[in-house]
């Protein structure tokens, strides 16, 4: 069981100095080092930042909206003058010359970054075990995984070292670890928060998002980070949609996602039906579940094979075999620098983009993606939110090795739906049947505020 210290209060006690508050959180992080949640702790820098904020306030500056909020940043998001490696050997030791836009916006509101968090290499994985820093362990049971790829982000909040973790979600990497660690995890719709300063995995899916205990902190962080950015032309300037009154919200669920044989998802099904007593709920079928995971993996491996071609030993990080020919240097650098999972995905992606197979795989997957979006668009004409499980199981043992190489990929089936459609989605813990049951809610485009509002309403209900 968890014997790590926890500090669950978001509010700095009256009279405590900001450096002391930061120090307390750093100590919690240090005492939980065995969980491998953090890659680097920026002790001196965090304390210096706290002192500077206090000084500025003493000179009349108004405290920022995130004054007193301690945050962690996933190791695939850049912070100026700090190392960032995407948990890979190829980028180990690389120091970023600039900060991600979202990081800048949070820091400008007085958030204090205490460290960077461990994850799957380049965000590729579902358990935070594909990392050069050692697998992330779940604080509720250190023999279990914390989920992935933002596993360290989730644990940084789970142990109480941080109030808010910034992560990335390409196909579930915020929602799934949040669920495995008993927290809320929110991925805004595609293009709502700038990707400037994110180390790309699959650019048409990647989104920055947040993990916290508390959805109100997520809402605050989202409002601070969202909006156009001169460094990312894909950020939409669309305003938030009109308010949907929670009392008349129309919920839908998809029957195909609840196999009768799975007791875990059956509990989520009972929860959703209980919610049907409080809201208008319809159950419909999706008829395309089998296509989701293959489509997601074809498109994301294709995009990653292109994105990761920049790591060649010339421009960033590791360089091996310099004394040989250029080809030798490329080959040796990439062989030494990439882990097995990343190599597998680069090869798969290169295959689906190759001349002979492009139409059979890549083009077809693009069409399926469009079809999935259209299906959801139709569904959203009759409903405001779609409710699903987050996962088909709880966290698995850290040393679990499957004989089926696709098993872990298929575990992403619940989260990739929103990612294929670029829709906002959240995973929240709901008290039900004397347990914390994790529920995923998907919203319509530009409905992030409405999604957070319905989440808060559902969390506040007392269900049996």
Is 149 an annotated catalytic residue?
A: yes
Residue 342's nearest CA partner among 313, 304, 315, 310 is: 304
Q: Smallest distance from the beta carbon of 170 to ligand GLN, in angstroms?
A: 3
By C-beta, is 125 or 337 nearer to ligand GLN? 125
> Cα–Cα–Cα angle for 391, 394, 399, nearest 5°?
115
By C-beta, is 41 or 178 nearer to ligand GLN? 178
By C-beta, is 25 or 187 nearer to ligand GLN? 187
By C-beta, is 60 or 405 nearer to ligand GLN? 405
Q: Smallest distance from the beta carbon of 73 to ligand GLN, in angstroms?
A: 15
Q: Smallest distance from the beta carbon of 90 to ligand GLN, in angstroms?
A: 17
Is 156 an annotated catalytic residue?
A: no
Q: Smallest distance from the beta carbon of 42 to ligand GLN, in angstroms?
A: 24
Q: Smallest distance from the beta carbon of 192 to ligand GLN, in angstroms?
A: 16
Q: Smallest distance from the beta carbon of 172 to ligand GLN, in angstroms?
A: 5
Chain position whose Cβ is nearest to ligand GLN:
173
By C-beta, is 94 or 414 nearer to ligand GLN? 414
Is 74 an annotated catalytic residue?
A: yes
As a whole number of Å, the CA-based R_g of the chain is 21
For 35-53, b/e burial (b = at least 16 CB within 10 A) is bbbbbbbbbebbbebbeeb
Out of 72, 126, 149, 411, the active site residue is 149
By C-beta, is 125 or 317 nearer to ligand GLN? 125
By C-beta, is 202 or 320 nearer to ligand GLN? 202
- The C-alpha atoms of residue 249 and residue 35 are separated, in whole angstroms, by 40
End-to-end CA distance of the chain: 26
Strand partners, 282: 252
Out of 74, 144, 187, 444, the active site residue is 74
Q: Which residues of the shown chain bind ligand GLN in the complex (CB under 6 A)?
A: 123-126, 149, 169-173, 201, 300, 412
Out of 72, 99, 156, 173, the active site residue is 173
Residue 107's nearest CA partner among 156, 56, 31 is: 56
Q: Smallest distance from the beta carbon of 412 to ligand GLN, in angstroms?
A: 5
- Residues marked active site are found at 74, 149, 173
């Amino acid at each position: 069981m968890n014997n790590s210290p926890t500090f669950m209060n978001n509010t700095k006690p009256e009279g405590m100095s900001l450096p002391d508050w930061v120090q307390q959180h750093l100590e919690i992080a240090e005492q939980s080092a065995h969980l491998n949640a953090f890659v680097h702790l920026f002790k001196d820098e965090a304390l210096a930042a706290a002192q500077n904020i206090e000084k500025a306030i003493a000179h009349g500056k108004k405290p920022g909206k995130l004054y007193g909020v301690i945050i962690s940043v996933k190791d695939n998001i850049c912070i100026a003058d700090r190392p960032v490696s995407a948990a890979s050997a190829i980028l180990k030791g690389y120091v970023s010359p600039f900060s991600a836009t979202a990081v800048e916006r949070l820091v400008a509101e007085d958030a204090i970054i205490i460290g960077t968090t461990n994850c799957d290499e380049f965000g590729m994985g579902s358990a935070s075990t594909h990392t050069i820093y050692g697998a992330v362990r779940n604080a509720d049971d250190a023999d279990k995984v914390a989920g992935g790829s933002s596993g360290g982000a989730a644990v940084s909040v789970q142990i109480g070292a941080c109030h808010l973790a910034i992560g990335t979600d390409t196909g579930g990497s915020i929602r799934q670890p949040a669920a495995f660690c008993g927290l809320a995890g929110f991925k805004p719709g595609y293009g709502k928060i700038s990707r400037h300063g994110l180390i790309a995995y699959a650019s048409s899916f990647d989104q920055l998002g947040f993990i916290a205990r508390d959805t109100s902190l997520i809402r605050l962080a989202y409002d601070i980070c969202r909006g156009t950015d001169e460094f990312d032309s894909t950020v939409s300037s669309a305003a938030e949609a009109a308010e949907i009154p929670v009392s008349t919200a129309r919920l839908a669920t998809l029957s195909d996602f609840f196999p009768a044989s799975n007791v875990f998802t059956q509990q989520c099904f009972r929860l959703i039906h209980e919610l049907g007593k409080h809201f208008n709920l319809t159950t419909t079928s999706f008829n395309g579940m089998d296509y989701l995971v293959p489509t997601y993996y074809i498109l994301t491996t294709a995009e990653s094979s292109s994105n990761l071609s920049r790591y060649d030993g010339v421009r960033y990080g590791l360089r091996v075999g310099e004394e040989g020919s250029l080809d030798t240097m490329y080959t040796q650098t990439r062989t030494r620098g990439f882990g097995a999972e990343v190599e597998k995905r680069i090869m798969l992606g290169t295959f689906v983009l190759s001349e002979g197979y492009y139409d059979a795989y890549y083009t077809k997957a693009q069409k399926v993606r469009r079809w999935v979006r259209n299906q959801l668009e139709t569904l959203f004409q009759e409903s405001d939110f779609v409710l699903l499980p987050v996962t088909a199981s709880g966290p698995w043992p850290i040393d679990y090795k499957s004989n089926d190489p696709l098993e872990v990929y298929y575990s992403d089936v619940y989260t990739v739906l929103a990612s294929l459609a670029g829709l906002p989605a959240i995973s929240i813990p709901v008290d039900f049947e004397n347990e914390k049951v994790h529920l995923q809610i998907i919203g319509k485009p530009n409905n992030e505020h409405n999604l957070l509002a319905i989440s808060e309403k559902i969390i506040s209900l007392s269900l049996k």
